[in-house]
Each structure stands twice: as C-alpha cells, then as structure tokens.
Amino acid sequence: MERTFLMIKPDGVRRGLVGEIVARFERKGLKLIALDLVHASRETVEAHYGVHREKPFFAGVVGFILSGPVVTTVWEGDEVIAISRKLMGATKPTEANPGTIRGDYSNSVEQNLIHGSDSVENAASEIALWYPNLV
C-alpha cells in the first residue's frame, strides 16, 4: 500500500480552504492516516524543498511556507501519489485544469495551495522529515 505526504500551504489555511481540500481526497477514497496544523521551522522547510535549492524561486517558496501555519497530512492507498497529484492539478496556473484544487482555487504559481509528493522515494523522505514517529 502506497503512502504520500500532502501539505496545505499557508494560503490554503488563510483562505479557509482546509476542509474543502481535505474533503476532496477523502471523497476520492484515500485513507487519511495523519493530520496536523503546524508552524514549520525554516530547517524543516529548507530540507523539504531541498531538491529546489539551486532554483531562483527557492528563497521565495521557503519564505512563503514560513508565512503562516500549514496543515501536514499523510495518506494511504493504491497509487495514492499519482492520484493525489491529479486531484491537485498542475503547478502553473495556466496549466491547472478546472476541477482540480489548483485549477479551481489558485491563480498563482507560488501560492498554489498544496504540496504533494511526486514519487515513492520523495514520499518516503518527506514522511520521514515531517512525521519521524509515524510507523
């Protein structure tokens, strides 16, 4: 059974979209196994976006994630990584289809409401980073 790490970013919390976003994954039939509202540390967020360290948007996205509380979650299910990426929608607002979370609620490439693991390896390292005690 596959697991993924999904995080509702500060814009989603500020805009009151936590329930709406969580509900979409629940309705899809994915199983919620962890959920917390957290004020993340810079160390954790920089490690989380470590693969993007050399990108021009790295400092911006880290600062944005630190701008308010986030909701961290772990989900379980068959093909949960690919399914949740599909429900999230594409990174760029011009490419995120209507019917997806980003397509319906975001028009910003940075403030795009949600993070989701993109591979089995990254899901494992993100879950270990945010939920070191989750078995």
Residues in contact with ligand IDP by the rule CB under 6 A: 52, 57, 60-61, 91, 109-110, 112, 115, 118
For residue 35, the surrounding DSSP H or E stretch is: strand 31-38
Q: CB 102 → ligand IDP: shortest distance, Å?
A: 8
Distance CA 51, CA 64 (A): 17
Nearer to ligand IDP, 17 or 61 (CB): 61
**Strand, coil or helix: 134:** coil
> How far are the Cα atoms of 22, 27, 61, 106, 114 from residue 50, in angstroms, in the given order?
26, 32, 11, 24, 17
Segment 96-125, which members bind Mg ion (CB under 5 A)? Answer: 118
The question of whether 115 is a catalytic residue gets the answer yes
Give the nearest distance from C-beta 81 to ligand IDP in angstroms: 11
Catalytic positions, written as ranges: 115
